[in-house]
Amino acid sequence: MASTALHERIRTDIESRILSGVLKPGDKIPSELELMGLYGCSRMTVNKALSALNSAGLLERRKRAGSCVARPRTVAMMLDVPDLPAEVAKRGQAYRFDLLKREISDTRHHRSIAEKIGCEGRVLVTHGVHRADAVPIAYEERLVSLSAVPDIETQDFADEPPGSWLLRHIPWTEAENRIGAAGAGSEAARALNVNVGAPCLSVERRTWQAAQCITFVRQLYVAGSYELIARFGPAQKGPVQNGPV
Amino acid sequence: MASTALHERIRTDIESRILSGVLKPGDKIPSELELMGLYGCSRMTVNKALSALNSAGLLERRKRAGSCVARPRTVAMMLDVPDLPAEVAKRGQAYRFDLLKREISDTRHHRSIAEKIGCEGRVLVTHGVHRADAVPIAYEERLVSLSAVPDIETQDFADEPPGSWLLRHIPWTEAENRIGAAGAGSEAARALNVNVGAPCLSVERRTWQAAQCITFVRQLYVAGSYELIARFGPAQKGPVQNGPV
DNA sequence: GGCGAAATAATGTCTATACATAATTGCCGA
DNA sequence: TCGGCAATTATGTATAGACATTATTTCGCC
């Protein structure tokens, strides 16, 4: 394997012809039999290459009809989800989380909470600020379902913020981020030391474990102080860092 | 194949045990030989399942040492990059793009442009507004390298906006999005019909083809009118739509 | 000419085998 | 004791063949 594997070579051959535009969406790819002759190898080897391209979304394959270049439906990019304590520490700054509020509520009495977290029962509500070297980075409001995570009721979040605690203790199977902009509310503005209505990046994340909602969190980042980065490329280079501008 | 393929079943079996937390990062996975006995199939079938999990980043495999659950380096989610004309049309609204400015500049005379697009030479500069049923959705400023895309110089963008034209004509191999918040500038505010400084979602995208930068675009979405959605899950269900709140 | 059935061509899956490669383990001798 | 060589183990790659599945095409029949 001094030279790369054959199935790998076939894959990148076709991939580069697609990405460079030589092959356009809808164009037919030679059949496995033909490629097998072209490269002088067995069908399984060709199949491995084409299957990889298929599951990568570059090819569409139909029995009897053959393979053709897929037309990109929605261009999807990888978004690195921020883990604040880790990212702040990585930049050599001191991370701190200040808890502003901590209370237990119930979705049966507060419909607005029920709507946000999308489940019934008792809920832990926390508000707090993430800081790097004491400078506020983000304001967050979080709801945690106590029926899904009973252990969190005894935590005081002096050592680590609720998000990191959850990440370490509760495995999740599904998550959804909604990314938008918003003006800072009065509590957020005070916490972030900006004017009310100042533009902020808003990240709302819901996390589920097997159809049960675990937590809902809304984070506000002051505009210009934080960016999310999503990239797309054939070969994923080192992960790009989110971070301050 | 009434039941799903065996290699698929093995894959999802292990995948769900990883995602649910039964198997933690670092835990060892049975060897291909053992799994082959467990499922009563050949090694190639097991290999296909484990290879898929490996290339999906869920497993780490080392010869002689065996396979173990990979520790997630950065949690990455799929972000569907918005294609405005398509999304507006999909919601049954009439899409329109109004060109506000169109001029040709040169990076050798305007350093700020050179910095943004990251290449030398003549550059097409366009400003415009995307509208759905005449309501402004997004304001965009775009730079296109004329040395990379000479054909665009003759386009007047009456029929389709520069972004869609590029998407249809120029294949790209790499792209990067920077997502943040910003206050509307005076031109953007006038175009979007909001106050100066109103919070906006800002998406900056650079697109390359083989190390050559093709275009840089900055889009501003009025806060609350548009959201990006990124999700992560074991089985990718139908793609979630970005869109108005 | 049109309709339905059979042939056909492509991919999907699986097996059994073979050899290559890498890393670990353990043995053996200086 | 320690250094290095060899055996072992697990994965990586590839082959040839088999059967299943699914559209498409073709052909025969009415």
pLDDT for res B238: 32
**Separation of alpha carbons A56 and B52, rounded Å:** 11
User: Is CATH 3.40.190.10 what the domain over B78-231 is classified as, yes or no?
Assistant: no
Q: How confident is the model over B102-107, as a mean pLDDT? A: 91
Estimate in Å the CA B87 to C1' C9 gap, whole number: 38
Q: How distant is the alpha carbon of residue A5 from its chain centre? A: 32
Confidence of residue A209 (pLDDT cuts 50, 70, 90): confident
Residues of A within 8 A of B73 (CB-CB) are: 239
- Which residues lie below 8 Å from residue A47, measured CB to CB, with a gap of 6+? A32
Q: Which of B24, B77, B214 best tests the A interface by mutation, with the highest count of A CBs <10 A?
A: B77
Backbone angles phi, psi at B29, to 5 degrees: -100, 145
Q: Which residue of B has its CA nearest to A48?
A: B48
Q: How confident is the model over B175-198, as a mean pLDDT? A: 95
Confidence of residue A242 (pLDDT cuts 50, 70, 90): low
Q: How confident is the model over B72-85, as a mean pLDDT? A: 76
Return the HEC string of chain A: CCCCCHHHHHHHHHHHHHHCCCCCCCCEECCHHHHHHHHCCCHHHHHHHHHHHHHCCCEEEECCCEEEECCCCCCEEEEECCCHHHHHHHCCCCEEEEEEEEEEEECCCCHHHHHHHCCCCEEEEEEEEEEECCEEEEEEEEEEECCCCHHHHHCCCCCCCHHHHHHHHCCCCEEEEEEEEEECCHHHHHHHCCCCCCEEEEEEEEEEECCEEEEEEEEEEECCCCEEEEEECCCCCCCCCCECC
**Separation of alpha carbons A29 and A17, rounded Å:** 11
> CA of A101: how far to CAs of A5, A125, B140, B202, in Å?
57, 8, 40, 30
pLDDT for res B13: 95
Higher pLDDT, B176 or A127: A127
User: Looking at chain B, how many residues does it have?
Assistant: 245
Q: Is there a contact between A134 and A169 (Cβ–Cβ < 8 Å)? A: no
Backbone angles phi, psi at B93, to 5 degrees: -105, 160
> CA of B131: how far to CAs of A59, B95, B178, in Å?
33, 6, 22
Residues 16-45 of A with CB under 7 A from strand C: 29, 31-33, 43-44
Cβ–Cβ gap B197/A199 under 8 Å: yes
pLDDT for res A236: 33
B245: pLDDT strictly greater than 70: no
pLDDT for res B233: 60
CATH classification code of A6-69: 1.10.10.10
A141: pLDDT strictly greater than 80: yes
pLDDT for res B74: 63
Using a pLDDT cut of 70, give the percent of chain B over it.
93
Q: Which residue of A has its CA nearest to B233?
A: A174
Q: Which residue of B has its CA nearest to A242?
A: B178
CATH classification code of A81-231: 3.40.1410.10
pLDDT for res B174: 82
SS3 category, B74: coil
Backbone angles phi, psi at A98, to 5 degrees: -105, 120
Q: Where in chain B do CATH 3.40.1410.10 domains reside? A: 78-231
Average pLDDT, chain B: 88
Q: Tell me: the pLDDT tens digits for B110-164?
A: 778 777 888 888 999 999 999 999 999 999 999 999 999 999 999 999 888 999 9
pLDDT for res B242: 52
Residues 122-151 of A with CB under 7 A from strand D: none
Estimate in Å the CA A104 to C1' C20 gap, whole number: 61
- Classify residue A92 as left (phi > 0), alpha (psi -120 to 50) or beta: left
Residues of A within 8 A of B228 (CB-CB) are: 178-180
Nearest to A179, CA basis, from B81, B71, B164, B233: B81
Estimate in Å the CA B234 to C1' C8 gap, whole number: 38
Q: Which residue of B has its CA nearest to A184?
A: B199
Q: What is the dihedral of CA A163, A166, A168, A170, to 10 degrees?
A: -150
Sheet of B59-62: strands edge to edge? B28-29, B66-69, B59-62
Question: Which nucleotide minimizes the distance between its C1' and the CA of B9?
Answer: C13
Query: Using the 8-state DSSP alphabet, how is residue B214 labeled?
Result: E
Q: How distant is the alpha carbon of residue B204 from its chain centre? A: 11
Q: How confident is the model over B40-57, as a mean pLDDT? A: 96
Nearest to B176, CA basis, from A82, A20, A80, A230: A230
Burial environment of residue A182 by CB neighbours within 10 A (0 to 12, 13 to 18, 19 or more): buried
Q: Where in chain B do CATH 1.10.10.10 domains reside? A: 6-69
**Nearest chain B Cα distance for residue A74, angstroms:** 6
Report which listed range, A23-27, A108-112, B33-37, B70-74, is most confident.
Answer: B33-37
Residue at the smallest CA–C1' distance to nucleotide C10: A64
**CA-based R_g, chain B, Å:** 24
A49 touches strand C (CB under 7 A): no
Q: Tell me: the pLDDT tens digits for A94-139?
A: 999 999 999 999 988 777 877 788 888 899 999 999 999 999 999 9
B237: pLDDT strictly greater than 50: no
- Which residues lie below 8 Å from residue A218, measured CB to CB, with a gap of 6+? A140, A141, A142, A202, A203, A204
Lowest average pLDDT, out of A88-102, A141-155, B76-90, goes to B76-90
* Tokens matching residue B55: 């290339």
Residues 5-24 of B with CB under 7 A from strand C: 5-8
Alpha helices in chain B (DSSP H): 6-19, 32-39, 43-55, 84-90, 111-117, 162-169, 186-192
Q: Where in chain A do CATH 3.40.1410.10 domains reside? A: 81-231
Q: Tell me: the pLDDT tens digits for A65-86?
A: 999 999 876 667 778 777 889 8
Give the CA angle between residues B50, B55, B58 to the nearest 5°. Answer: 70
A42 touches strand D (CB under 7 A): yes
Q: How confident is the model over A186-193, as a mean pLDDT? A: 97
- Which residues lie below 8 Å from residue B116, measured CB to CB, with a gap of 6+? B143, B216
